[in-house]
Structure 1
């Protein structure tokens, strides 16, 4: 399978809610959905210790690391080496998440190292100005997510989504735009794609659902429905 992230895409980001067997079970379910919808990309972000297990248990998802540092092999105890996550099976990485912010210099170096290894970068930006800066750095995907909306169940308004999409595409039309603030239902997913985002994702809306696998299915189905109706 290609590790290039395609439009549309969906990211299941369980953060530290899931690990081990419970994470593997949902990752395998995501893998089945990716097989059902080969025209889209489904990414699952996993804790570092689970990357290899999830990679070995799946074939169709893009296994994604939650962070990495822009270092090279050598000194750096306690840091996340790009070669290490690649070897474990990660082919994409989140950078500059609100829960793991990076300086501009560190972010630029991490993006460069990811490009060296062929790891797709999903870089978080919480304002239009920051999104523009990240676009200039050459991110593959930009997650436009106002920090204050994370985990609130409140989604970005349509004007924010449309403005960030336009600002990024004006700099580089090949960059994919992800909008995921407050996504908690399948309807949220549908609306976000309908408004022009290339992809979206969810954490607690899935992990806290009565049936996490059922919610993941509903959200991916909604993604594909909006994509097909958008033409």
Structure 2
């Protein structure tokens, strides 16, 4: 499958909540949903050690790494080699997450390396100004997520969502905008997409749900419902 990220898109990012068999169960469900809704993209972000297993068990999702370093094969003890995650099956990567921030120089190097490898970049921005800077750098997706809202269940206010969308698109209309701060319910997903985001995602809202599989399903269905109601063509 191609690693082109279509919109709308949904990112299931279990961070370190899930691994091994539990992660595979959710990844397989995401794969089923990606097959059911081929007009959207579903990305699953997995720990490095699970990339290969998730890739082998799925066909329709975009397997995504949590981070990578802009290094070449050789020295780099403890670093994440781009060639390694690509070989394992990752075709997209998160960069500059609040839990793994990068200096501007390191971010630029990682983005350059990802582009050379054919790995799509989802780059996190904490503010509108940071989002503008990352748009100039040429990210494939910009995740606009105020750090203070991560994991709180409180979403970004409507004006922030709309302003960041507009600021990024004014620089490069081809960059996809992801809004995911505080997403914890299917209703949050629906509202965020209706506001104009190209995609959204969730972590603890799914992993801590009574039924993570049902929550994942409900969120993807809410994504598709909102997008269709927007009447927007891909």
Query: Under TM normalisation by the shorter chain, which class is it?
Result: over 0.9
SS at match of 1:42: strand
Alignment of 1:158-177 (within 5 A): 158-177=158-177
Alpha-carbon distance in 2 for matches of 1:141, 1:5: 9
Find the counterpart in structure 1 of residue 121 from structure 2: 121
Alpha-carbon distance in 2 for matches of 1:169, 1:74: 38
Alpha-carbon distance in 2 for matches of 1:113, 1:6: 22
Alpha-carbon distance in 1 for matches of 2:24, 2:78: 25
Find the counterpart in structure 1 of residue 86 from structure 2: 86
SS at match of 1:71: coil
1:40 deviates by: 0.2
Find the counterpart in structure 1 of residue 185 from structure 2: 185
1:59 deviates by: 0.1
Find the counterpart in structure 2 of residue 34 from structure 1: 34
1:133 deviates by: 0.5
Alpha-carbon distance in 1 for matches of 2:88, 2:78: 17
Deviating 4+ runs (over 4 angstroms): none
Alignment of 1:63-212 (within 5 A): 63-212=63-212
Find the counterpart in structure 1 of residue 53 from structure 2: 53
1:229 deviates by: 0.3
Structure 1 unaligned regions, length at least 5: none
Residues 188-209 of structure 1 show CA distances to partners (whole Å, capped at 9, x for unaligned) of 0000000000000000000000
Alpha-carbon distance in 2 for matches of 1:75, 1:4: 31
Alpha-carbon distance in 2 for matches of 1:61, 1:209: 22
Matched, 1:5 2:5: yes
Residues 159-179 of structure 1 show CA distances to partners (whole Å, capped at 9, x for unaligned) of 000000000000000000000
Find the counterpart in structure 2 of residue 221 from structure 1: 221
| TM-score for the superposition, normalised by structure 1 | 1.00
1:2 deviates by: 1.4
**RMSD between aligned residues:** 0.3
Alpha-carbon distance in 2 for matches of 1:7, 1:204: 23
Residues 108-143 of structure 1 show CA distances to partners (whole Å, capped at 9, x for unaligned) of 000000000100000000100000000011100000
Alpha-carbon distance in 2 for matches of 1:206, 1:45: 13
Alpha-carbon distance in 1 for matches of 2:167, 2:72: 33
SS at match of 2:178: strand
- Alignment size in residue pairs: 231
| TM-score for the superposition, normalised by structure 2 | 0.98
Alpha-carbon distance in 2 for matches of 1:80, 1:133: 24
